[in-house]
Amino acid sequence: MQIRIYIFLFFTTVASLAFAQDPQFSQFYANPIYTNPAFAGSSGNYRFVLNARDQYTALNNNFKTGSASFDANVSAIGGGIGGMVTSDVSGDGYLTTNSFSGVYSYQVNVNRKLTMRGGIQASYVQKSYDFNKFKFGDQIDDRYGFINPTKEATGLQQTSFPNFGIGFLAYTSNFFGGFAIHNITEPNQSFYFPNSADQQFKLPRRYTAHAGLNLYLTNQRDEQERVMFSPNIIYMQQRDYNQLNLGFYLKKQALTTGFWFRQTSKNSDAAIILIGLKFPKFRIGYSYDITVSGARTATQGSSELSVAFELAKKKHEKKSFKQIHCPVF
């Protein structure tokens, strides 16, 4: 009986942590407008992206996160538009978060080499949980286990709220960098005090900064034939939690490989390996996070898959558009 209680306490703790932190993806640039809303329309094409992450695969009730997005550059409005749906399930349905977002970005060509983009994201977020799946101490019968009704307060089992984010990008043919702020208004996500100003449970702001270089190791005339080495850095902070990701991509023709190391505020977290294939209209990438922290024996690693389709726009719509040259995985 004690073992069941410990398992319950573990998963409720994991679920409570999910309240305070947004889901994360290891393939940052394979999910561009989730990373930074300024990426909307940055490819110049009609872009459709699907992402799926299975975190801590050794656990039966682990985190599962998915997203689907669309974005395109629209010359008539001087930038890009996009839409995104994300879904995150924690603890076998104990906590489910769904988000529906619209994104707009604006592009400015500073000079022949430098381009800047600014983006804004507006979202509608729904959070829910199934109270009947939780177990409490007053339900325990000494002989038969969890058979008694609980006297714990139920609260709302679903809450919703608007959410907003902004982002900025600057890039040339060899450099790109940007930052984003999500959850700007820090909305109240409490199930028990949804309208209480003094007992709010706020979703903390998430800050992201990222940068990278494109270094060509060979000098073929056709850019697609060159071998490209792209060192990258991305830093994220949300309340007291932060993580630093250092790594690189190595690209030759359709094949991209990559390696990252993720360091959190308290410990080394994971080594990330990546392999991706990119064709003119389609790309697919797979990454695996190898847990290196003390939790590795219980959680093992995390798998992530990305799939994208791109349809080219008409050439006359791209006269003033400058595509960003950065990794796509």
Q: What is the pLDDT of residue 199?
A: 66
198 pLDDT tier (thresholds 50, 70, 90): low
Please state the φ and ψ torsions of residue 137, each to the nearest 5 degrees. -60, -35
Mean pLDDT within 177-195? 89
Query: What global pTM score does this model have?
Result: 0.87
The string of pLDDT tens digits covering residues 256-299 is: 999 999 999 888 999 999 999 999 899 999 999 999 987 777 67
Task: Count other Cβ atoms within 10 Å, centred on residue 284.
Answer: 16
Q: What is the pLDDT of residue 11?
A: 39
Q: What is the pLDDT of residue 160?
A: 93
Domain ranges of the chain: 2-318
DSSP H helix total and E strand total for the chain: 3, 17
> Which range (63-77, 170-184, 202-216, 311-325) has the least confidence?
311-325
> CA 208 to CA 198: how far, in whole Å?
29
20 pLDDT tier (thresholds 50, 70, 90): low
| Contact call for residues 230 and 212 (beta carbons, < 8 A) | yes
114 pLDDT tier (thresholds 50, 70, 90): very high
| Contact call for residues 79 and 121 (beta carbons, < 8 A) | no
> CA 77 to CA 7: how far, in whole Å?
53
Q: What is the pLDDT of residue 90?
A: 83
Which tokens hold the place of 164? 């907003």
DSSP, residue by residue, 170-199: EE-SSEEEEEEEESTT--B--SS-TT-SSS
Q: What is the pLDDT of residue 88?
A: 94
% pLDDT > 90, the chain:
58
The segment with the largest mean pLDDT, out of 2-11, 198-207, 273-282, is 273-282
Residue range 2-318, CATH number? 2.40.160.40
Q: Which helix (H) or strand (E) holds 216?
A: strand 215-216
Residues shown for the chain: 329
DSSP, residue by residue, 80-124: EEEEEEEEEEETTTTEEEEEEEEEEEEEEE-SSS-EEEEEEEEEE
228 pLDDT tier (thresholds 50, 70, 90): very high
